[in-house]
Amino acid sequence: GLLFNVDSLKLVVEQTKDRLLPPPRRDHTLCKMGPYLLLFGGWSHDYEGNELWLLGSNWKWQQLEVTGTAPCSRRGHSANVIGSKMFVFGGLYG
């Protein structure tokens, strides 16, 4: 696939061989936190979860461990980042 590098304003060819990727989904949220993107929740016929994924500036995904009580699985929700915290609101559960 292709990725758009916002610093250089150029398309970059994505390496996908042996790469850890989040499961495909829809109705998820994607929030920017500093140089990172955070992906939470969503739904597909094969996936329904409350995983939190981070896309780093190196274009590699990693699944994060949540501290405290994690939100339940949901889709169609909204989310925002304030400082170093991500807040998840509403959506359809389970």
Per-residue pLDDT of the chain (94 residues; tens, 9 = 90+): 777 888 899 998 877 778 888 999 999 999 999 999 999 999 998 888 899 999 998 888 999 998 888 889 999 999 999 999 999 999 988 5
Under 8 Å between Cβ of 30 and 38:
yes
Q: Contact at 8 Å (CB) between 52 and 66?
A: yes
Q: How many CB atoms lie under 10 A from the CB of residue 81?
A: 14
- Report the pLDDT value the prediction gives residue 85, as an integer from 0 to 100: 92
Q: Is 46 exposed, middle or buried (0-12, 13-18, 19+ CB in 10 A)?
A: exposed
- Check residue 75 and give its pLDDT: 93
CB 31 within 8 A of CB 80: yes
pTM, entire model: 0.81
Task: State the pLDDT at residue 94.
Answer: 59
